[in-house]
Amino acid sequence: MEMRVLENEQLKVSISDFGAELSSVYDKEKDQERLWDANPTVWNRHAPILFPFVGKVNGGVYRIGEQTYEMKTQHGFARDMEFECVEQTKTSVKHRLLPTEETRRIYPYEYELLVTHTLDADNPRLLRISWEVKNNGREEMLYSIGGHPAFTLPVSSKEEKEAYYLEFPGRDELTYIGVNPENGLAAVSQEKTLKLENGFVKFYDDIYDTLIFDEQRIEKVRIAGPDRTPYVTMDCHEFPYLGIWAKETGNFICLEPWAGRTDNDGFTGTLEEKTGEQKLEPGCSATVSHTIEFHKQ
């Protein structure tokens, strides 16, 4: 697999052709890797792109109208495919993914996915990630898309990790749902409230799972240090959903912007009825973007 490198005076960013996955963000000034290293004994990915599904479909099957399709993998298939690099400069790279005979059997649409990573011209610590989805077919296309970046914390123990904060600027509280650990589907009947103190909440044990923030249009989410100074900030205001996930055994936290999400637990409807599903008319395209700022902290 080939790695595409973007670089400025502060950051050196590497994106793989496989999955168009952001694979490294090396902070030159801090002499520190800011992205999870994909240690296979903990979690073997860095920042996969979730397309054309976010999460799982109930039972590994879904329906479009009367037609049934299999989708046995979580988060679709784009993360496990080779993309074509179609454009690259010193500070920007664009990848493209098109259908194959194999993808048409499990996802019948004539999609085109363009993924662009760009280092900001004004803020050398800011990375922009854009996803453009095109419908090159003759019928309405249904899809979800999302990100799953894992940010490494400079800690060596669970106790040090739990000294960090999550910050939701401007919010006093949020509601969230988790997932059924037996099947990975959204436990919508078990909504909880996340109480915030001036936007902050201490990292805590419940986050060793998936927190799903539904339709709350969270504009920014931040990982902050024990002294509450910013560590990583994600601007995700274009996305209706946000996921947060971590593992007890890894020194990382995932901040996940989503347009769409996993099936509700027990859902048996069609893809047209699925919560959060995106719709795209023939010949049309849709673009969503988010930014990640790697602070100097």
Run of H or E residues at 97:
strand 92-97
Q: Residue 207 has what pLDDT?
A: 72
Q: How confident is the model at residue 1 (pLDDT cuts 50, 70, 90)?
A: confident
Percent of the residues in the chain that have a pLDDT greater than 70, as a whole number:
99
Rounded CA separation 116/236 (Å): 16
Structure tokens at 37: 């290293």
Q: Mean of the pLDDT values across residues 264-285?
A: 97
Q: Residue 46 has what pLDDT?
A: 98
The larger pLDDT score, comparing residue 242 to residue 206, is at: 242
Q: Residue 212 has what pLDDT?
A: 96
Query: Which residues are CB-contacts of 256 (< 8 A; sequence separation ≥ 6)?
Result: 146, 147, 148, 149, 242, 243, 244, 245
Rounded CA separation 192/200 (Å): 17
Whether the pLDDT of residue 127 is over 90: the answer is yes
Q: Mean of the pLDDT values across residues 24-51?
A: 97
Whether the pLDDT of residue 206 is over 70: the answer is no
Q: Residue 205 has what pLDDT?
A: 59
Rounded CA separation 225/178 (Å): 25
Lowest mean pLDDT among 82-91, 94-103, 208-217: 208-217
Q: How confident is the model at residue 294 (pLDDT cuts 50, 70, 90)?
A: very high
pLDDT tens profile 142-183: 999 999 999 999 998 888 999 999 999 999 999 999 999 899
Q: Please work out, in degrees rounded to the nearest 5, the angle formed at the alpha carbon of residue 44 by the alpha carbons of 62 and 276.
A: 30
Predicted TM-score (pTM) of the model is 0.96
Is-cis flag, bond preceding 240, omega within 30? no
> Which residue shows structure tokens 């409230």?
193
